Chain A
Amino acid sequence: MADEVKLYGLDGSPFVCRVKIALNLKKIDYKFVVEDLRNKSADLLKYNPVHKKIPVLLHSGKPISESLVIIEYMDDAWKGAPLLPKDPYEKAQARFWAKFVDDKCIPIVFKAIVSHGEEKDLAEAHEQLQFLENQLNEGKKFFGGDDINLVDISATFIAYWVGAAEEALGLKLVSKDKYPKLTEWCDNYINCQAVKDGLPPREILLGFFKMWFATPNSFVYNEFLNKSS
């Protein structure tokens, strides 16, 4: 039990994926416990009674929920490969941008995808994406500079899920013309080994999105709309 790490989740969840990537970066061995969201395990309900959602990290028998809270916990508990800057101001900036991605960017980008690119949603999504594009303006490879940090990880959905949704929908949201830095960041990010090892196969995502756009009441993505983080 001591030091054992378990991650409760689903392969298709971008929020679970965040934690997988962080575990890979920190080189932490863990056991992945697959959850069926239509039939949540007694463990999941016990470990996350407030939200009853994935991901949940279990470390030495103690549960932590909410993907960004989990990642900060990991940075406090395991000192190798820091995921947040040391400097308090830089750390605050990282927390601000991760929260921005989580609270503002992802929901509106997802909404624009769900509405099949409805004008108002698209305009709002572009407004938020532009803030991210501008954050990369100092010639940074990642939001964390030379290395991946909390902000990069928080934006995994933008780097990978959006591309699959765009292909399934036939709609381009994050184009190279409009977002040269962001598209370059996407390529750099998803080609990092620690990230690659955590991402679900593209065909699975494409399959999910195609099925979901055909039948919008699909359970799994209704759960997503309530956010699994």
Chain B
Amino acid sequence: MEEDLENKSASLLNYNPVHKKVPVLVHNGNPILESLVIVEYIDDVWKQVPILPDDPYQKAAARFLAKFIDDQCIPALYKVFDRNGGEQVIAEACEKLQILEDELRLNGKKFFGGDNINNVDIAAAFVAYWLKLLEEATEIKFVTGSKFPKITEWAEGFVNCQTVKEVLPPREIMLAYYKKRFNKI
């Protein structure tokens, strides 16, 4: 159900009175909020394709990393574009990305989830797709293949997964939106 964030529907405000934000998943009339909470809900209800590891310790490690991406990594990346670049904000963002780079190097697999996508890969979708478009729209480039080879390789693999490809918004739409948002038109 498409939402216009400048004119939020009565349904959205009814389902998410606390934050008034998307996404909201409604299942059997029950609303679930917060994207990572929704992902865990989906994993609890539909058991066929596990999104989180089974083992409690690995599950905790995955939750930790997903939370890190959400709470620290993505805000630090946005800050780069909000502040129109600058050495310090870029350095801080790179420090966060280095954690992800090291994690991928350590596990040596195609995805954070190993051979298959898990909740960490999903949490980092912004890094795989939206980040590049932000760089292109604002002409502030700092996530290079030489600095972050593992992330670059992972991003390529992630956005080319069929299930991911099908839901990514078209490049041109995001570029136009970002150019407008960051006054680059």
Q: Which residues of A does B touch, CB under 8 Å?
A: 50, 59, 62, 64-66, 69-70, 72-73, 76-77, 88-89, 91-93, 95-96, 99-100, 103, 131
Contacts and interface: CB of A to CB of B under 8 A. Distances in A.
Interface string B25-65: 00100101110011011001100000000001101110110
Contact of A66 (B34, B56, B64): B64
Nearest to A93: B32
A77 B55 CA distance: 9
Interface size range on B against A: 20 to 34
A76 B55 CA distance: 9
Given A73-B60, A76-B56, A92-B40, 6 more contacts: A50-B64, A72-B63, A73-B59, A77-B56, A91-B44, A92-B44
Interface string B6-40: 00000000000010000000010010111001101
B185 to A, nearest CB: 34
Contacts of B63: 66, 69, 72
Contact of A95 (B30, B37, B61, B99): B37
Closest 4 CB pairs of A and B: A76-B56, A88-B44, A73-B60, A92-B41
A88 B34 CA distance: 15
Given A88-B45, A91-B44, A96-B32, A69 B37 contact: no
Given A73-B57, A77-B56, A89 B64 contact: no
B60 A70 contact: yes
B134 to A, nearest CB: 23
Contacts of B61: 64
B67 interface: yes
A59 B71 CA distance: 25
Contacts of A70: 60
Contacts of B99: 50
Contacts of A66: 63-64, 67
Interface of B: 18, 27, 30, 32-34, 37-38, 40-41, 44-45, 56-57, 59-61, 63-64, 67-68, 71, 99
A69 B41 contact: no
A157 to B, nearest CB: 18
Contacts of A65: 64
Contacts of B38: 92
B34 A96 contact: yes
A88 B41 contact: yes
A112 B31 CA distance: 31
Given A89-B32, A92-B38, A100-B18, A73 B56 contact: yes
B99 to A, nearest CB: 6
Contacts of A96: 32-34, 37
B32 A69 contact: no
B64 A99 contact: no
11 contacts: A50-B68, A64-B61, A69-B67, A73-B57, A88-B45, A89-B41, A92-B32, A92-B37, A96-B32, A99-B37, A103-B71
Given A89-B32, A96-B33, A96-B34, A62 B45 contact: no
A59 B30 CA distance: 36
A134 to B, nearest CB: 9
Contacts of B59: 72-73, 76
A89 B57 contact: no
Pick from A50, A59, A100 the residue with the most CB of B within 10 Å. A50
Contacts of A69: 60, 63-64, 67
